[in-house]
Structure 1
């Protein structure tokens, strides 16, 4: 009975070559120096896993929830660079909007918000006419204008004095942007109403007229102003 011959040829043994260089000295390591290096942080290459705190755990949870939402929304769609950028940016925009809304809501609803405001009263800005009526000595201004022979300005000041007296007597409610017709409608006394209409016509003619106002023109207007001034009840302080 014949046996099949082994068809796998035996591999030749590799020749081992030795370094024949003469006068070789083995490297000697300084154990004390190595121990010193081990103690230095600069040579510590070991990787340590940072322990997750509650904030890191919350961020990871929120991020995973966000990714699940997008996966549910678009499925396995592979987003491009721009879409990926938006997906990463949107949570920060939402967070910023929430913080801004909370700050706005706190400012609007917090009863102690006035605590942060300045204790000084805010400055009140009046128009020139309002400032004269509310805070100036109008008769002194009239005298000064007459001394300078500025009769047009004196007429203006006299008309503002009439407005002030009507306001103090509570016959009108003075407001800078009101029209003369509105003031006429507020004055219930027919006599005072007619007198006020007369001085208003004189004032408009002299103040807005493009002509030189003489002393005689002023005296005519002054007569009408004085007559109306005596008819207006004096305010009781």
Structure 2
């Protein structure tokens, strides 16, 4: 029964396809010619919106694509707006693109080099070590092997009062070490020696000498002869009290 129904459906579909093919063959002749459509000569009447409708469109922000900001009411803001416009016009000009931008780049480079020079960055990288720096590196190795009397005389003769102050301070450290008030080590800070003298009567005076020495040496301030003579007297007076 099922096979009979299936055969009937297939036969019906086959007859339908055959009928469609024959119908298409009849409706589509083999020799056909395409002709252009006839021109439509009917008169067209344009439809224009009313003036009120156009005014509504013009006033609507939805159709304002430029969105120019209104001029500011504040006088200072108006000046800034005018100045910004002038700057933008200048940066967009051919004179800036062909000449002035290179002038500005050279000027910026010059300012950077000047700032580096003022910060002693270039000098610190490329300059040779001065004689004062070489002496400083040598005298910090072992203060017990140095002839401070001769070194101080040489520094004073050369009018190098900063170095002479440094030598006086190191000589003071040597004297404190020899008298067992402090334990000298190259890696210690000056403040460590001040703390070691906490229980002695020399602490206040030595702290004052340390402050003056750090001001002269690490602050890299110039020392006049009269200023150095006062420092020399203080170092010698402290040495005498030890």
- Which of the pair is proportionally richer in helix? 2
TM-score (ref. length: structure 2): 0.41
